[in-house]
Structure 1
């Protein structure tokens, strides 16, 4: 009994460290939307230019994904996360001193690079350390990412109101990086390198299934990035205060947290994840349609549906990718490729939505476009039959 407890204790501390690290992967982006009115009153920004604050870090995340596993191989898992948290913390804290759009965008890009290095590494770490419950722990990891977004979106406007300074509302989240850094460093013995057999790990760029998974992940994440960037401004334009619009975005991300825990737990009962994916995509379609047709009368229902759909879709997309391969190293390489391409696709979506808003004067057409994208994803889900995974990637 004592041996079991001794073994379980390091695992508990390790997953707690992963949770604290994951909390840092969205506040640098999630705090911007609710504060956008305050930022634009101080720094001239069109909606298209403001979209770069979400687009460029997501694009940086995509590009850095291709180097993340290689950097992790050279530095080790522990040092890579330490370096990444330092980058995120410094980029976020620097926003206290920003005076131009270019500086704000640069801070967002640097934070995106730090985020990407962590996101390239942690799925493989989870698959190797928690191989018996990958879906459960991936759900906990992704839920923590969503929780970080919920906290930032909900409280950044409050910080701005209390301090009278939007820069503090953006920069205060560097404190999360400090806490995670101290805790992660304390777990360095638990994150010691594991002996792994050398395996052939070819590039996935020539594999059609890898591209299908990447496109699916990218299209799903496009909904997340657009909602993250534009839901709060959408409601501010309808007369809501920044604080209430931020709380609405925080409510949506809270629903993402709930779904991020429940969907993988339910899906863990079967290797075939298609039914769960279809339900999640249906929730997103319903949420976007309601956001367009009746945004005011049922203003909590539509973010609830969107949050439940998007929150579950994000971890499920990664879990389906991990399910294609048994070896943690190769599965990690596949998820890094999927996220790399996927974030490049998703990064463009806030810019397109911002351009639509500048040209047509409304976000509704962007929501319609995302609805059509999700319907296409429903067709793609039919291809994810686990009986044929080995045929596509072996």
Structure 2
């Protein structure tokens, strides 16, 4: 598949629309953690059960990745993203009327499916429309994803305080989906369809060892993201912080993710071998978790900053390294869909494991230690990503 060239003005509006769409890919999950103690007053949830609110949508994201590209081929990428935004918006809005844990979990799963369909399509779109600066635009896209998490984590507790309702704190983000829908729908006349690959069947990467390595690496890195998203605020509430301050701390972490998500790909864009950059990000994550465990009340702003800088850069870099393996946008999109599909299935289990550890040990520290060990393993894995060998691993 050839790259599709778009006019500069069109490219600007398309990128603005992509950013607005990306802002909707985390609020349905990020708003839950800061409001969890209030939710548990009205809805009986153990920490293990509450983990399902993050785990199941992430698992749904993983499973939906595998049919997202097929759906886009039938409906077209523009209509597929319109449909996905509608699903996310309706699932989010439905939380105004939910009274049980099951209903809350179903809304989370529905949002996860909509999120996955968008995430399956966007790497292909960016690779084809912005082929000369893939790292920069992937960084902007992923940064917007984390920016949506920052907004939800920071503002949802404030909305709850002002309205007296955690349901409004969760449901208000449907307005963001509506805004994105308006902008994205306006691109229908200027967004040319992706060229089709003729009768060639969609490539499968299930038998490719490098694809599995990339998927496991992405999944382990995203496990840190999903666990922090789910449990950082409850961890600090247990340390004696208010819900609002704990939410602001999570907002600070996600703000650092936004900064790193912008800066790190811009730095990495100048070099073919990105292993040094990724290793530096992993070291930041290890330091952040160690500080969270050993000194949560001292330098309490530093540890979320380190975690945010590390996780925020690692997320786009994991996808960029996957895209770098292939020049053809459609093949690269299929690879990243596989990487995200398997990766989100791996990452989806992590909040549940952390919740079980919390229920069994009475503290989240065991979960933080486990994630520290996982990140150390990733330092060894990153040595395998030598760009000189990409062609040999994925022909």
Q: What range describes the TM-score normalised by the shorter chain of this pair?
A: over 0.9
User: 2-side partners of 1:63 and 1:195: how far apart?
Assistant: 25
Give the TM-score, by structure 2 length: 0.98
Is the 1:78–1:192 contact (alpha carbons within 8 Å) kept by the matching residues of 2?
no
Give 1:194 deviation, angstroms.
3.4
Give the unaligned 5+ runs of structure 2.
1-5
Q: Provide the C-alpha distance between the structure 2 equivalents of 1:203 and 1:189, rounded to a whole number of angstroms.
A: 32
Number of corresponding residues? 389
Q: Is the 8 A contact 1:255 1:304 kept in 2?
A: yes
Kept in 2, the 8 Å contact 1:54–1:225? The answer is: yes
Structure 1 residue 202, shift from structure 2 partner: 2.3
Match of 2:150 in 1: 150
What is the SS of the residue equivalent to 1:188?
helix
How far apart are residue 195 of structure 1 and its match? Answer: 2.9
Output aligned runs, 1:16-35, within 5 Å: 16-35=16-35
Which residue of the partner structure matches residue 255 of structure 2? 254
Q: Deviations over 1:110-132 (max 9, x none)?
A: 00000000000000000000000
* Rounded Cα–Cα distance in structure 1 between residues aligned with 2:202 and 2:87: 29
Give how far 1:196 is off: 4.6
Residues 76-115 of structure 1 correspond to what in structure 2 (within 5 A)? 76-115=76-115
Deviation at 1:133, TM superposition (A): 0.3
**Does 2:12 correspond to 1:44?**
no
- How much has 1:321 moved relative to structure 2? 0.2
Change (3 A) 1:183 1:10: same
Name the residue aligned to 1:290: 291
8 Å contact 1:221–1:343 — kept in the other structure? yes
1:1-394 aligned within 5 A: 7-198=7-198, 201-394=202-395
Q: For 2:70 and 2:271, locate their aligned partners in 1 and report how far apart those are by CA, in whole Å.
A: 33
Distance (whole Å) between structure 2 residues aligned to residue 334 and residue 20 of structure 1? 24
- In 1, Cα distance between equivalents of 2:23 and 2:366: 32
User: How far does residue 201 in structure 1 lie from its aligned partner after superposition?
Assistant: 4.0
User: Take 1:197 and 1:100, find their aligned partners in 2: how far apart are those partners?
Assistant: 46
Q: Please give the TM-score of this superposition, normalised by the length of structure 1.
A: 0.98
Displacement of 1:197 in angstroms is 4.7
1:271 shift after superposition: 1.2
Unaligned runs of 5+ in 1: 1-5
Q: Which deviates the most, 198-207 or 311-320? A: 198-207
**Structure 2 counterpart of 1:3:** none
Deviations 1:172-204 (A, max 9, x none): 000000000011001112222033554564210
